[in-house]
Amino acid sequence: MKDLDLYKQIKIFCNDGVELIAKAMAGSSADVPTKVAENFVVVDDHTVSQKQSVEIDWSRFVIKREKELELLSSYQNAIKSLENHTIIGPQMNTLIGSGGFMRRMDARELLRITLTSLLMEKNEALLDESLFNPLYEKIENFLLTDT
């Protein structure tokens, strides 16, 4: 971890975001977007089994709650920390990546991706530090390396 303040701001936002999502889930289950996931399992040399299950569509759920997330003070603080960072700030709202893959990155998308990734990894609205720390380090390494 190279930037403890940035880590702290993003972690506080993720914690608040997970709490907001958990409260929304506790409300009406009709508000929770779902998707059908297909799983294929090779049973033996001649048999493949297919199973379908209904899962929470975390990406749609976070996007659906984005306006509420933006109202969190921790969201605003994390945005400021990203945009005011001496190395990361200039990368925001520009194309980043390599010749093979480039994408436009902004602070809002980065926070949305981080929160969604945490929810998808645990598959529940709970902040797990053992999942957050490696995810944060990957993000920081991606944004702070020269290549």
- pTM exceeding the 0.85 threshold for the entire prediction: no
What's the whole-number mean pLDDT along residues 6-11?
95
pLDDT 10s digits, 111-125? 999 999 999 988 888
pLDDT at 95: 82
- Residue-averaged pLDDT of the chain: 88
Per domain, the residue ranges of the chain are 4-144
pLDDT at 1: 66
Instruction: Give me 143's structure tokens.
Output: 């944004």
Binned at pLDDT 50, 70 and 90, residue 50 comes out as: confident
Q: Which of 57-61, 69-73, 75-79, 102-106 is least confident?
A: 102-106
Range 80-89 contact pairs with CB under 8 angstroms and sequence separation of 24 or more:
80/9, 81/5, 81/6, 81/9, 81/10, 82/6, 82/10, 82/107, 82/110, 82/111, 83/107, 85/3, 85/6, 87/143, 87/144, 88/6, 88/143, 88/144
d(CA 12, CA 6): 10
Asked if 21 and 65 count as a contact pair (C-beta separation under 8 A), the reply is yes
Whether the per-residue pLDDT at 75 is higher than 90: the answer is yes
pLDDT at 30: 67
